[in-house]
Structure 1
Amino acid sequence: MAKAHPDDEEAAASAVRRRLPAPQRRVQILAVAGDLFSREGIDESSMRKIASKAGVSPAVLYRHFADKDALLFALTESFFERLSAAMREAFATVDGPVARMRALMRTYLTFGFDNPHEYRLTFMTALPRLKRDADMKAFRQRARSGAVIEPQELTLGMHCFGMLERGISDLVAAGHTRQSNPAALTEAIWASGHGLVSLVITHDEFGWTERDALVDTAIDVMLNGLLRHP
């Protein structure tokens, strides 16, 4: 009979000592996997290493997640769930299309700055690896063609982008914008915000100015290029 791997025995013993309900165990495994993926990279983070760090046996890990891509998918959904909740709150608590757009942009930028590891993992690693951009492209093509999109078809990332698009559409409908193409305007605004977050969290040694001032200035620059002026 094959002898058990020492790491497996240690992980199994730890799991017995710290039994958690399945939902809590899932959250704990995701936290460990996200930390390992961010610090060591996906290719260097084996399922065995994730199980060991989480204090569970490989069998327990595989009961929750089939592979690393399943872990990545769950991590991106968790990230977008929190971002979506923050953006929904901003959308619902501010009146007026211009003020609402400012609030949405501030929420997006601040969330990215506050969650640099998760932001980097989601946008720079997980989405390309999981080919989620292809899903977004197909969804947007269907939406532009007038096809009916059922709520259950939308990923949480699509919800986040959709809120930006709705905010831009409200600006266009109110006659506040110099251009009238909501899709192009939304893409330009998101690309600008995403670019700023990506630069700041990747090059923190640059010596960026105080964050609130940077966020205020970035929003002013983006909106000044978007809005119609008297």
Structure 2
Amino acid sequence: MSTREKLVTEAALLLDDGGDAAVTLRAVAQAVGVSHNAPYRHFKDRSALLAAIAERDFRMLAAVFDQARAGDTPPIERLKVALDTFIRYGRDYPARYHLLFSDPDVGTTGGTLEAAALEAFMAFSSLVEDAQGTQALPAIATRELAGLIYATAHGLISLQAGGRMREKKGLSTAEQSMALLLTLLQNVR
């Protein structure tokens, strides 16, 4: 593993353990065991390091979606697996999830980060398209349907992370709510 990769990995772990404030170039350098100036050889500043975490995790999500798509179950089941994995990522790595989907600095970075985010969404869209191809989901514009499902998953992940999922509101878990949405979509003709 290169020094750059080690820095990104340790920064992600610091983010997981202590949130955004825990990620400093000095703390990352210390965690990797390099000089406090070493991270500057790889990253312009802290924002660039955070963008590298986001880019890596977007690429990981794209790979997860591609892996789900390669399964041998019906396409709608593959989509459910991908959504469950996505929801679990949001639950298990809330600070990273926030970085990817709620940090305004990351959202305006562009370049390879934007390409990685689009790659993840396109891989997700392919799962939706496959389910549409078997008529398990309605035959409407794939990008819009994928965007709606993706945005709904984001909303549910945020509600769950904020402790706002309530049985009284008809929301027990993000996974169950997404399964309900997909069931409803399967019945739209």
TM-score (norm 2): 0.77
C-alpha distance in 2, partners of 1:104/1:111?
A: 11
Q: Which runs of 5+ in 2 are unaligned?
A: none
- 2: distance between equivalents of 1:66 and 1:222? 43
Distance 1:208 1:116, change over 3 A: farther
- 1:162 maps to 122
Task: Give, in whole Å, the separation in 1 of the partners of 2:76 and 2:19.
Answer: 42
Work out whether 1:196 is the aligned partner of 2:174. no
Q: Is the 8 A contact 1:113 1:197 kept in 2?
A: yes
2:75 match: 97
- In 2 relative to 1, CA 179–135 (structure 1 residues): closer, same or farther, beyond 3 Å? farther
Alpha-carbon spacing, 1:195–1:229, altered in 2? closer, same or farther (3 Å): closer
Matches of 1:153 and 1:71, distance apart in 2: 11
Return the alpha-carbon distance in structure 2 between the equivalents of residues 198 and 80 of structure 1. 18
TM-score, normalization by structure 1? 0.65
Question: Given the alignment of the two structures, is residue 75 of structure 1 paired with residue 53 of structure 2, yes or no?
Answer: yes
Separation (CA, whole Å) in 1 of partners of 2:72 and 2:94: 26
- Determine helix, strand or coil for the equivalent of 1:193: helix
Task: In structure 1, list runs of 5 or more residues that go unmatched.
Answer: 1-21, 137-151
- Tell me which of 122, 126, 130 is aligned to 2:106: 130
Query: 1:118, 1:135 → 2: CA distance?
Result: 18
Determine which structure has more spread, i.e. the larger CA radius of gyration: 1
Contact kept? 1:77, 1:156, Cα under 8 Å: yes
Provide the residue aligned with 1:143 in structure 2.
none
Aligned in 2, Cα 1:183/1:37: closer, same or farther, shift over 3 Å? Answer: same
- 1:141-180 to structure 2, matched below 5 A, reads 155-180=115-140
Aligned length: 184
C-alpha change, 1:92 and 1:45, in structure 2 (3 Å) is closer
Shift of 1:216: 4.4
Instruction: Select 2:41's aligned residue among 38, 56, 63.
Output: 63
Verify the 8 A CA contact 2:165 2:173 in the aligned structure 1.
no
Q: Which residue of 1 aligns with 2:5?
A: 27
